[in-house]
Structure 1
Amino acid sequence: MKFRGVMTAVSGAAMAAGSAHAQNAAPAPEPTTVDTPAATTASSKNRDIVVTARRLDEARAAIQPSLGATSYGVTNETIQALPGGDNQQFNQIVLQLPGVVQDGFGQFHVRDDHNGLQYRINGTILPEGIAVFGQTLSPRLIEKFDLLTGALPAQYGLRTAGIIDITTKSGFANGGQVSLYGGSQGMIEPSVEYGGSTGSTNYFVSGDYRHSDRGIESVDGSATPLHDKTNQGQAFVYVDHILSDNDRVSFVGGYSDQYFQIPNPRGLQPDLGYSVNGQTDYLSNDLDERQHERTAFGQLAFLHHADRLTLQASLFARYSSLRYTPDITGELLFNGQAQSALKRDVNVGGQVEGAYRLSDTHTLRGGVVIQRDRSTSDTSSYVFPLDDSGAQVGEPFAIGDAQGKTEMIYSAYLQDEWKILPRVTFNFGGRFDAYDGYRAEHQFSPRANIVWQPTGMTTLHVGYARYFSPPPFSNIATTSVARLAGTSGAAPSTENTAAFAERQNYFDVGLSQKLGGGFTATIDGYYRRSHNLIDEGQFGAPIILTPFNYRVGTIRGAEFNLTYQRGPWLAYGNFAAAKAKGKDIVSSQFSFDPADLAYIRNHYIYLDHDQTYTASAGISYAFRDGALAGTKLGGDMIYGSGLRKDGDVPNGGSLPAYAEFNLSLSHKFANPGIGVRLDVVNVTDKTYLIRDGSGIGVGAPQYGQRRGVFVGVTKDI
């Protein structure tokens, strides 16, 4: 048998999706006075700073409005309302949004795409990294975030399945909190956050540490996975300084250091017939594989807002590294090879974007982004020498391979928001993207969206977007396939075409309707036709995803969202249906079985991350009066009809459907400033498969989290 380690897990899902709607963003409003506790108790100068900061935040948001895209919004208050609060990891929050599918590695898929996500923090792009298990961003830093998808306007490119646009906390009121959270599976998580202001400078910092005996999904469904510990530390800082009523400079930085054991299956022995210095037996319980991931990022931005012009110029950088440490003897006996791997990636760039209000009916927006990405890889592959019949003819030896590559990306866009009629907006434009790395490709991509608001309660949008998505540079496999020929690590073939950029035609139509009484409903449908559709898979023991292309692919689906928010109640429900297929694998062919390649060359197959039906829901109630004032009750759930597995053909079957339910109870004692909470994850202790180890590019079985009980206490400081 072949053994491969597995990947990620988290404690429960949590949150309520805000109303989903097609946004028709207006130019930034002029200053207004907002009475808040911070404003009414601060000095007149501090009050002016608060108002100026909020006006500049609104101006920044107006540079990059969604303008006809589908938008789902989440606030910090919503994050706190349901199980886990901001103690959970960020991917679990996103799973509560429409059309988001759960996967292993802590991954999720938006509209059946594979990781085609771009993160932005306060309007500035966060470059891609190479972390697999770890979550770089903590919910503690988030004031609110939006998931934008569909036919995106021209300011969004390169990664277009979904834009996760984060607005960070920024302090203003001097104070913060310390907390301690933990429970099942040996989980303990202390954290601290603090924000405030000094003169015209505002700041927010946070940090947390997490230890758990369940760092990654179990490979056997056990409530106590074997060899699955994790230690994770995260830190974040935000600082801004208001230079004048119209100008602000800000800095955002973060660091994460995360260590994972790779969980072991129980009771297995190798059966490939190999021997290491006479040893042929090795109990799978004793395997010791580990992965260490580090990420650091920084963003420096200058924002200017005048009468007609709003401009933000940013510099950004991200460093990430991944080190996989194998169990050399065990992996040689189980797999015929063992590979130690160290990958590093450094991405730096600049971004300038602006909006100019040409007239009452026309607002021009444009921007330029330049990125430089340097990726290095250093691997040692331990393999057996084989004779022509495939029999072992000696003791294992190591083959080293160290490589590096640099990629440049250039992007520019221009668009016009044209208010054709008071209730009809036409946003049209285009962007140009080019990259030069393992390949050099480019494309001009037109975009067009029409938003019609026939009444104050109804919004319709129709959009078209041409997309261009280069393959994820830091994940491209750099190992020389030919070096392993004649060994137990030899690939099925030596064909290794470099990955292509994906080119898409994307169509989207949607309706948002306020129903009255606190209810809002949205429905959205989409169709995407791709050339060189990008997918990713795990093809070796190191938990590193490798991109590859289907020559053609189609993805289509529909989403429905219903939200209710009134008084102490917050509730939502989401349902999505999707179908994703591809044909003819045209890159990284060495990773695949030749029989699979031959079949896929002439037949459409489901993508391995396709899930036909996905749903989520949540509800919370906040007691505001009486003896229970300060108490919140909540619950949420996720449902999946099952990801793909192999059947009669590759990815031809699907895993069983599942539903996971989570509950939460919290109370805030106002006078001492102490909060307590109790969360129960997977209340029914449902044992369910996320992956069964089969399918194109799937490395090992992965099970959802078993029941967990977690408690927390928080103290204001």
Structure 2
Amino acid sequence: MNLRLSRMGAAFALAFAVAAPARAAAILPGQIEGRVNDTLGHAVAAASVRLQSPDGKTLGVTHSDAQGHFSFTRLAPGIYAVVVDKADFQTGTDIVTLTADAGKASTITLASTQALEVRVTARKLDRARNGIAVDTGSSNYRISASDVAALPQGAGTPLNQVLLQAPGVAQDSYGQLHIRGDHGNVQYRINDIIVPEAITGFGQSLDTRFAESINLLTGALPAQYGYRTAGVVDIHTKSGAFDNGGRIGVTVGSRNTRELSGEVSGHNGNLNYYLNASTLKNDLGIESPTAARNAIHDTTHQNKGFGYFSYLLSDSARLSLILGSSDNRFQIPSVPNQTPNYTLSGAASYPSQNLDERQRETTRYGILALQGTLGDKFDYQIAAFSRYSKVLFEPDTTGDLLYTGVASRVLRTSQANGLQADGSYHLNSRHTLRSGVFFSQEHLNNNNDVLTFPADSAGNQTSSTPSGFTDNNSKTANLYGVYAQDEWKASAKLTINYGARFDQVNAYVTGHQLSPRLGAVYQIDPQTTLHAGYARYFTPPPNELISGQTVSSFQGTTNAPPGTQNDPVKSESADYFDIGISHQLTPHLTLGLDSYYKTVKNMLDEGQFGSALLYTPFNYRQGRIYGAELTANYRRDNFSAYLNLAHSTALGRDIGSAQYNFDAAELAYIANNWVHPDHDQRITASFGTAYRWRGTTYSADALYGSGLRNGFANTGHLPAYTQVNIAAAHTFSVAQLGKLEGRVSILNLFDRSYQIRDGSGIGVGAPQYGPRRAVYFSLDKFF
């Protein structure tokens, strides 16, 4: 990173923290701010909180929010009793004395009227599961449920937008994310179990609402992490072990947004459960291809469901079942006033704004896991998983033929099943051994029904009557992995994790690799931690995106690709180095600085080369990625803020597969020059703050990007942009209705029009613009 930029970022973070109001944590006169906990220290939501005078008269009633907070305002000096009731708990009381010059804080702990053995066992098993996973030497950015609630859209924030608040994460069109200069290469886990990738176009198959916490792991990862390694998104789910209750909510707003969502959780004996569902409709399903405030033909319907069920078999074992689904339908937005490029018999006029392309994306997944402990030394988790994914692109046959010369109906399906087993053994106070195995088998089907026009050798249309053909293929892909590692506490200050993993893939390509891993954490002093690591990575290409398309089928048509060479896509092999430092500057402010360097053989990238909004992988024979990240986090009672600033450079050279997608001039240039991949963005920044005052949480966040690459061989980049979002949320109680939370959110506050893509660059499809200003109103009822 440029030294001046790094110093500016650090100075800004420090200045921001110092400027944070010293009285942000102070409770105003005439106010009682409090929190309700259980005896395990967990927040108790939806508890009834009464304020009483010394003679027992009730002066006010409210309910604790999702974080257990409550408040009473505009109170005269005097003595008050705060009385808290909640089903399955004993009544809690706190006596508070208010003076004229200051408010008071009240913390009330409720004792359960039921035995806490189930909760204690569930928490014990959670700790055992967390002990199986390790992040020594890597960078871990943790996002809690309260952090998500503080975002302008709260728990309704799409998962990709949550992750954009983390360091080094750049946004792209269709909801894509790029972490530390990689295209995709993101692994998703639920409760430390891998969820196989879906065939993604632009739908979000995971809902933020079911997350208790979200961890983004980057850098030199320990040996248990393989396959997708630019970032590991590990979502720990809400379980129902600590709450009986639920929520139903509605959101309305700009572009005809209508969303209904609900969740319910609870426990019955040894059974814990959590259920979540949502249905969304709006008129901005995909980024608009124009700068207009409203896109043409861009309606989306999105339905999601999630369920978690856990049954305690004993005090040392539990069986968990996770089920999830998403069904997303999209209209493909149209660009008005375009001129047809081809002629079609019987079609005299067809305005481009009337095109009716559509895409449907379906994902189903399930995980059955047995997790537990054997004695005091061995923890384990064994999981079987299954995932079904389907994407169907429906063309506008007449319009696509007139404007692009090809109409393709594309159907891709994938069924993946597998097993994952992980275990840890506490050998002694200095060594913890961990090992595991992974196997998955994926069956893929690709069906492509094509209509296109005959053409001469120069690509000129020779007939206005289209001809058709079908290109179908299928493949079974197998992926195997095994790892072993040792976490060694070399001293009171130094912890070293070393190990290796072996991976093998047998699919469209075959390959294998032994990958050593080494990570270390050194506690310089109580406030300062240094971490460093090295990892060798083996990354197979995403099988579900490989179409198996026969290039020769398109020769002599208006859909003929620029070339004919089609070397098979290869697995990526990389050496990754990471070093970082974290320092707690004050009890409330923590600063971090991290840097990384990655050298790559057969660097994977993806491009949209067809008419369907799906991606095709290809390789650069050589690649290198490097950068640095600065983080700052400030927390003090009711006030929190964060700043992330990242600098990244990604370079590739010489296209090594799927060359037919590139014209000769571009291939020749890339063969002899280092070029930026289309997803490379030099500067990425995110900022957010939240302040809770008198029962209302005020929040804001912002994203900055210096612009993705564009132009011939990605030699240029788009202009920089900034988007600011704000919100206010208030929790209140209404007679006969109980606890409610209202929220108003304004996205893109300053209504900045900016381009994410301009339609040029390597493997870039249509232009896409960031969303214009939008206002949303949400109301949630808790029970």
Q: How far apart are residue 45 of structure 1 and its match?
A: 5.4
Amino acid at match of 1:556: Y
**Worse-superposed segment, 356-365 or 391-400:** 391-400
Verify the 8 A CA contact 2:688 2:700 in the aligned structure 1.
Answer: yes
CA contact (8 A) 2:541 2:569 kept: yes
Match of 1:13 in 2: none
Q: Aligned match of 1:60 in 129, 138, 144?
A: 129
- Cα displacement (A) at 1:598: 1.1
> How far does residue 88 in structure 1 lie from its aligned partner after superposition?
2.1
Whether 2:359 is the aligned partner of 1:298: answer no
Partner of 1:635: 700
Contact 1:269–1:282 (Cα < 8 Å) also in 2: no
1-side partners of 2:540 and 2:348: how far apart? Answer: 44
Residue pair 2:689, 2:701 contacting (<8 A) in 1 also: yes
Partner of 2:138: 69
Out of 655, 666, 674, the position equivalent to 2:740 is 674
TM-superposed deviation, 1:425: 0.8
Q: What are the Cα deviations for residues 201-256 of structure 1, in whole angstroms up to 9, with x where unaligned?
A: 00000100000011110000211100000000000000000111110110111011
Checking the alignment, whether the CA contact within 8 Å between 2:344 and 2:464 is kept in structure 1 is no
| Superposed counterparts of 1:75-474, under 5 Å | 75-172=144-241, 173-270=243-340, 272=341, 274-279=342-347, 281-305=349-373, 306-388=375-457, 390-474=460-544
Mapped contact 1:231–1:260 kept (Cα < 8 A): yes
For each residue in 1:628-676, what CA deviation from the matched residue of structure 2 results, as whole angstroms up to 9, or x when unmatched? 3x21101000000000001xx4100010001000000010014620110
Letter in 2 for 1:358: L
Hey, what's the Cα distance between the residues in 2 that align with 1:520 and 1:642? 29
The answer to whether the 8 Å contact 1:177/1:192 transfers is yes
Out of 457, 464, 475, the position equivalent to 2:545 is 475
Match of 2:770, as an amino acid? G
Following TM superposition, by how much is the alpha carbon of 1:36 offset from its aligned partner in structure 2, in angstroms? 4.3
- Matched position secondary structure for 1:503: strand
* 1:692 corresponds to 2:758: yes
Stretch moving more, 391-400 or 96-105: 391-400
Moved more, 477-486 or 99-108: 477-486
CA contact (8 A) 2:539 2:573 kept: yes
Query: Residues 89 and 138 of structure 1 are in contact (CA less than 8 Å); yes or no, is this contact kept in structure 2?
Result: yes
Please give the alpha-carbon distance, in whole angstroms, between the structure 2 residues aligned to 1:214 and 1:561.
32
Deviation at 1:185, TM superposition (A): 0.6
Residue of structure 2 equivalent to 1:621: 691
The question of whether the paired residues in 2 share the 8 Å contact of 1:131 and 1:295 is answered with: no
Q: Which has the larger radius of gyration?
A: 2
Deviation at 1:112, TM superposition (A): 1.0
Letter in 2 for 1:34: L
Task: Quote the offset at 1:487 in angstroms.
Answer: 1.3
The 1:594/1:37 distance shift into structure 2, 3 A limit, reads closer
Q: How far 1:484 sits from its partner (Å)? A: 1.5
How much does 1:504 deviate? Answer: 0.3
SS at match of 2:544: helix
The 3-state SS of whatever aligns with 2:585 is: strand
Match of 2:719 in 1: 656
Shift of 1:47: 1.1
Q: Which amino acid aligns with 1:433?
A: D
Q: Do the aligned partners of 2:263 and 2:276 also contact (CA within 8 Å) in 1?
A: yes
Separation in 1 of the partners of 2:43 and 2:166? 31
Give the CA deviation at 1:387: 3.8
The Cα shift of 1:281 comes to 4.0
CA distance in 1, matches of 2:550, 2:42: 61
Q: Secondary structure, in 3 states, of the residue corresponding to 1:144? A: strand
Q: Which amino acid aligns with 1:496?
A: N
Task: In structure 2, give the amino acid aligned to 1:714.
Answer: D
Q: Secondary structure at the match of 1:82?
A: coil
Rounded to whole Å, the distance in 2 between the matches of 1:621 and 1:82 is: 11
Match of 2:47 in 1: none
Q: Distance in 1 between matches of 2:704 and 2:371?
A: 42
Which whole-Å CA distance do the structure 2 matches of 1:602 and 1:225 have between them?
40
Alignment of 1:9-20 (within 5 A): none
Query: 1:575 matched to which residue of 2?
Result: 645
| Structural RMSD (CA) | 1.4
Deviates more, 1:500-509 or 1:397-406: 397-406
User: 1: CA distance between counterparts of 2:157 and 2:592?
Assistant: 27
1:187 maps to amino acid = T
The equivalent residue for 1:702 is 768
Distance in 2, matches of 1:415 and 1:563, equals 32
Q: Report the Cα distance in structure 2 between the residues aligned to 1:350 and 1:44, rounded to whole angstroms.
A: 40
Q: What displacement does 1:268 show? A: 1.1
Q: State whether residues 307 and 323 of structure 2, in contact with CA within 8 Å, keep that contact through their aligned partners in structure 1.
A: yes
Does the aligned pair in 2 maintain the 1:280–1:333 contact within 8 Å? no
Whether contact under 8 Å (1:387, 1:393) holds in the other structure is no
Cα deviation for residue 492 of structure 1 reads 1.6
What secondary structure, in the 3-state scheme, does the structure 1 residue paired with 2:121 have?
helix
State, as a whole percentage, how many aligned pairs show the same letter.
43
SS in structure 1 at match of 2:199: coil
Seen in structure 2, the aligned counterparts of structure 1 residues 445 and 659 have a Cα distance that, compared at 3 Å, is same
Q: Which is further off, 493-502 or 532-541?
A: 493-502
| Offset of residue 493 of structure 1 | 1.8
* TM, length-normalised to structure 1: 0.93
Map of 2:674 onto structure 1: 604
Q: Deviations over 1:531-561 (max 9, x none)?
A: 0000000001101110000000010000000
Aligned 8 A contact 2:343 2:464 in 1: no
Of structures 1 and 2, the one with the larger relative CO (CA 8 A, separation 6+) is 1
Secondary structure at 1:606 match in 2: coil
Work out whether residues 151 and 157 of structure 2, in 8 Å CA contact, stay in contact via their aligned partners in 1: no
Partner of 1:10: none
Q: TM-score, normalised by structure 2?
A: 0.85
* Distance in 2, Cα, partners of 1:56 & 1:582: 45
Aligned equivalents of 2:157 and 2:692: distance in 1?
Answer: 20
Structure 1 Cα separation of the partners of residues 335 and 464 of structure 2: 29
The SS at the match of 1:51 is helix
SS at match of 2:666: helix
Is the counterpart of residue 540 in structure 1 residue 610 in structure 2? yes
Deviation at 1:694, TM superposition (A): 0.3
Aligned to 2:40: 34
> Does the Cα contact within 8 Å between 1:33 and 1:51 map onto a contact in 2?
no
Could you tell me how far 1:278 is from its partner in structure 2? 4.3
**Following superposition of structure 1 onto structure 2, how do residues 498-577 of structure 1 map, counting pairs within 5 Å?**
498-577=568-647
Counterparts of 1:391 and 1:567, CA distance in 2 = 69
SS in 2 for 1:185: coil
Aligned-partner Cα distance in 1 for 2:214–2:596:
23
Q: Is the 8 A contact 1:131 1:294 kept in 2?
A: no
Q: Structure 1 residue 517: deviation in Å?
A: 3.0
SS of the aligned residue for 1:516 comes to coil
Tell me the distance in 2 between the aligned counterparts of 1:537 and 1:233: 27
SS at match of 1:264: coil
**Count of residue correspondences:** 677
Q: How far is 1:51 from its partner?
A: 1.2
1:388 is displaced (CA, Å) by: 4.5
Q: Following the alignment from structure 1 to structure 2, what is the Cα–Cα distance between the partners of residues 37 and 289?
A: 48
CA distance in 2, matches of 1:120, 1:278: 52
* Distance in 1 of aligned mates of 2:113 and 2:601: 58
